[in-house]
Structure 1
Amino acid sequence: MFRRIKPIERREEVKFPADLRKLGYFINKQDQIRRIEEPSEGFKYYIHKVERVNERHREAIDECIRRVLDKRFAAEGLSKHYFPRGCDPKTDRCVPILISDDLDDTEKVLIIVGSTFDDLGVWSVREMEGPGINHGSMISTIQSAKEENFRFIILNCGQNVYSPEVGRAVRYTTWKAATKSSPHIDEVLNRVPGHENVQNHVRSILDEVKGRVLGKKRIYFLTYGWGCWGVVKYLNDHFSEWKSSLEALIAVEPTHTISDIVNPDLVHFLRTRSRGYIAHADPPGTFIPDKRFISQTFSTNQMHSECIIPHVWKSLMLPWFKRVEEDPEGCNPVMAVDWSAVEKLQEGWGDASLHTKADLDPNKWDFYDEDDEEEEEMSEGQKPWLRNLEQVVDLRDAEQAASITTGLQAVNLQENIRPGSGGESKSNGVGKAAPSA
């Protein structure tokens, strides 16, 4: 048996001011947070042996960043709107989102749905410490998109816990730093009605704003992580309402799968006018065979998922939105994928790339399961490689003049072909370019 020989020491909470200078930091000319004593050094998390002190110190820095971003978003013409509608942010449980002040004066609306672990308007705190605050936040995303006449609705999936101590909805790390260590979240008292989770938040906000955008605007979605899952689940139930206004969707590190979708119209939309971008070592824009998300998937040459949008938004994502605007029915190049070869490669089978010369004949490519022996009658002019859409990744492109002439030639327009997927002399059966129509 054990007995306590002295009472547990109760330490008083260490308080840090929400002031960068008093905390020993400043924002340099490169828009980076740096230490005053060591201007070449960034944020230092471990300042004390007690983890609780480190958490509260980091939260003080984050509060300074939030205040800086509030001013910058206002300068870009975005204001906070609080939901549920009609609530008082000073006394009621509510969630803020950002909406462009001139939303009604534009034809193109970009709806941004971020992660479940960051503050409103933030992509990556990691990138704020590196390239700069604007780079790691949505400020740089907004500035470049405004040049293409976009206006914005920015949802808030991260600040999903209401903290009485702070007096507003906060992300979990803020909640933890503001309350006792390992705090219990009351699923009634510490949640905002209608915004208890990602799916409820997305549904509540899109239902609220659809009167301002549907039938009046061309709508584009930029989603990240679980935010993408919330949007796809919502569209699965309401696609008929949004179909005529919806232009395109980008999913970064998507979390939805084909099993989440039963709406055939949404499936067609995801095949033809959506793209997924994932953390992957291949060069940015390299096609990655992956049929989990229905839409085609591309690499970004990023290790951390939160760094994807800050690094490839201007080079890959925004240009693709422009392609959708110019040619919505041909914005994706066509590429047929031999999924059996992909599965063999994923299993590590070395013989997956051993094909005979007959495999290089585009007239003999087989895109179907081995047990699919049923021959379907094709109407005149219909292409046999389109019989089974589940075996084809739809990557159509307006420049399909690049076609198969002799041997195996990869369609390589704005996207790269994954190494060893068709551009080499030895085919591994992955990513074969489909003959043009």
Structure 2
Amino acid sequence: MFRRKWSGLPADPDFPVDLSKLGYFINEDDEVRAIDNPDNYFHFFFNRNPRWNERQRYAFNQALQYVIWERLEKLGLKKELLPLGTLDTNKPHVPIFVSSDIATKSRVVVIFGETVQDLGVLAHRIIGGPGGINKGSMVSVVSALQKQCSSPSDPTSPGIILANMGELIWYPEGKRTLSRSAFAAAPMQSAVHYNNVIEKGNMVEKNSSPRMHVGHIFQEVIPHFTKDDAKIDIIVLGSSADYVEEFLDLPPMWNVWKSRVSCLAIVGGLYPVWDLKNDEFVNVFLRNKARAYVTSVEPAGMVISGPEGNPKTTTFTQMGCPIFSSGEPNYTETALIAGSEVILGWLQEVAMTPEGQDYTNPYFHVDFADPVFDTDEPDWSPWQNEELVGQKDEHDKMWTEQVYEKTGDPQGEKPNLFVLRGDEDNEQAKKENVKMGQVEDKN
């Protein structure tokens, strides 16, 4: 009887979390290239076995994340562990980044990244491809925000909080949290195990889901790190919009935050306004102090819809706020990259509202509509063969005469599956069938 031991299973492939050991380097344009051929970017399909490819990408992404974290720290951000008060890194915790001088800031920008991305990452297609590490990560966003002013009377840059919406699964062996895709690619007992299983031990207190993480950021993190009168600007990416809007829509929560939240930039989110119940949050805040930036082929900043929606476009516009093009036609993850100048520029516009005035979105006259293509059948009459046209007219005449004889209706319709052929046409068809090798039915 055949018996296979656990020790006989193929070992899970292991790759070093180091760019140079993986065969890559960062060139002078801040792009990751292959050492053996600097013209090549990251090569995912290097093996026929998908597990080997996933394990290599896992190590590659982690190596890049540590590079991003190092750059964020050089920009003055400090890594903090949640839940607040966590000191032992061996215990389950979720990292976030907070400005080291945030306690002195009169304005704070809180960024909730996509729920499928690693902390500090915007788009791996940019980080590991054309564009480079800074452009495809939060490094570019943080750098741009640090050039802004907090208010007309405060020329210092705003404080920044980078929430961690994607990495919420605790990986004990690595002593860190991972995203769902990274957890699936993390080391297993063998290369042929089905998957890593999420159990109770993989949960982080108060941060085991994106919804809980949003609540922890608002209820504990922001009050702990910021001044009580600091104004809060919020940027949400992708599906994070669902959880942030859902939280702020709660009347008890909105009563607490309505005096502090200055504006909300929804980048790539699609949360429908009819799921929101708080009239004050929807008809006052979203209408007047929020903007959505969607994927679109239109230039960044073009107005797609007003708060009421735009029935002249197939783009989803029922979000309760003015909607603009991000300048990115395809990918939600690159919408903030493509529209950063417009999006962050609007945050600065809100922050520079004169003292004593309350910012309100201006009225937008929306002319945008999807282009209408002419679907009428083109006129092919100039291309008709005069001889064939004459034959067609003769056939139509013969058909009409036969119908009139049988039914008395000179306008009888022709059946779609029958074609009336003359004797000459039938003989020609037989000759063509013989040429094509078809067997003629002699019966």
Q: Do these two structures clear the TM 0.5 threshold for a shared fold by scoring above it?
A: yes
Which residue in the other structure is 2:407 paired with?
none
- Structure 1 residue identity aligned to 2:243: G
| Aligned with residue 332 of structure 2, among 305, 330, 337 | 305
| Aligned with residue 335 of structure 1, among 364, 386, 398 | 364
| Aligned with residue 214 of structure 2, among 202, 206, 228 | 202
| Aligned with residue 168 of structure 2, among 142, 145, 160 | 160
Q: How many Å apart are 1:200 and its aligned residue?
A: 0.8
Which residue in the other structure is 2:291 paired with?
275
- Structure 1 residue identity aligned to 2:143: Q
Q: Distance in 1 between matches of 2:373 and 2:211?
A: 37
Q: How many Å apart are 1:209 and its aligned residue?
A: 2.3
Name the SS for the 2:202 alignment partner. Answer: coil
Q: Distance in 2 between matches of 1:14 and 1:144?
A: 40
| Aligned with residue 345 of structure 2, among 301, 319, 334 | 319
Percent of aligned positions that are identical: 28
Which residue in the other structure is 2:198 paired with?
186
| Aligned with residue 218 of structure 1, among 208, 212, 231 | 231
Q: Distance in 2 between matches of 1:25 and 1:96?
A: 27
Name the SS for the 1:165 alignment partner. Answer: helix
Deviating beyond 6 angstroms after TM superposition, the runs of 4 or more aligned structure 1 residues are 3-9, 345-350
The more displaced of 212-221 and 249-258 is 212-221
Instruction: Kindly indicate whether residue 69 of structure 2 is the aligned counterpart of residue 47 of structure 1.
Output: no
| Aligned with residue 303 of structure 2, among 281, 287, 293 | 287
Q: Distance in 1 between matches of 2:4 and 2:202?
A: 35
Change (3 A) 1:305 1:243: same
Instruction: Kindly indicate whether residue 261 of structure 2 is the aligned counterpart of residue 246 of structure 1.
Output: yes
Q: How many Å apart are 1:89 and its aligned residue?
A: 4.5
1:323/1:331 contact within 8 Å kept:
no
Q: Distance in 2 between matches of 1:91 and 1:46?
A: 34
Name the SS for the 2:52 alignment partner. Answer: helix
Q: Distance in 2 between matches of 1:273 and 1:120?
A: 27
Which residue in the other structure is 1:31 paired with?
30
Q: How many Å apart are 1:6 and its aligned residue?
A: 9.3
Q: Distance in 1 between matches of 2:41 and 2:168?
A: 28
1:219/1:248 contact within 8 Å kept:
yes
1:283/1:299 contact within 8 Å kept:
yes
Instruction: Determine which structure has more spread, i.e. the larger CA radius of gyration.
Output: 2
Q: Distance in 2 between matches of 1:88 and 1:101?
A: 17
Q: Deviations over 1:335-364 (max 9, x none)?
A: 3569xx97xx799999xxxxxxxxxxxxxx
- Structure 2 residue identity aligned to 1:109: V
Name the SS for the 2:70 alignment partner. Answer: helix
Q: How many Å apart are 1:23 and its aligned residue?
A: 1.0
Q: How many Å apart are 1:144 and its aligned residue?
A: 1.0
Give 1:382-421 correspondences, 5 Å limit.
Answer: none
2:30/2:133 contact within 8 Å kept:
yes
Instruction: Kindly indicate whether residue 246 of structure 2 is the aligned counterpart of residue 233 of structure 1.
Output: yes
Q: Distance in 2 between matches of 1:225 and 1:12?
A: 37
**How many matched pairs?**
344
Q: CA RMSD in A?
A: 2.7
Runs of 5+ in structure 2 lacking a partner? 149-156, 310-316, 376-443
Change (3 A) 1:22 1:295: same
Q: How many Å apart are 1:203 and its aligned residue?
A: 0.3
Q: Distance in 1 between matches of 2:372 and 2:321?
A: 23
Q: Distance in 2 between matches of 1:257 and 1:271?
A: 14
Name the SS for the 2:135 alignment partner. Answer: helix
- The structure whose RCO (Cα within 8 Å, separation 6+) is larger is 2
The more displaced of 245-254 and 8-17 is 8-17
Q: Distance in 1 between matches of 2:21 and 2:125?
A: 22
Which residue in the other structure is 2:421 paired with?
none
Q: Distance in 2 between matches of 1:347 and 1:266?
A: 36
Q: Distance in 1 between matches of 2:255 and 2:271?
A: 20
Name the SS for the 2:15 alignment partner. Answer: coil
- Structure 1 residue identity aligned to 2:241: C
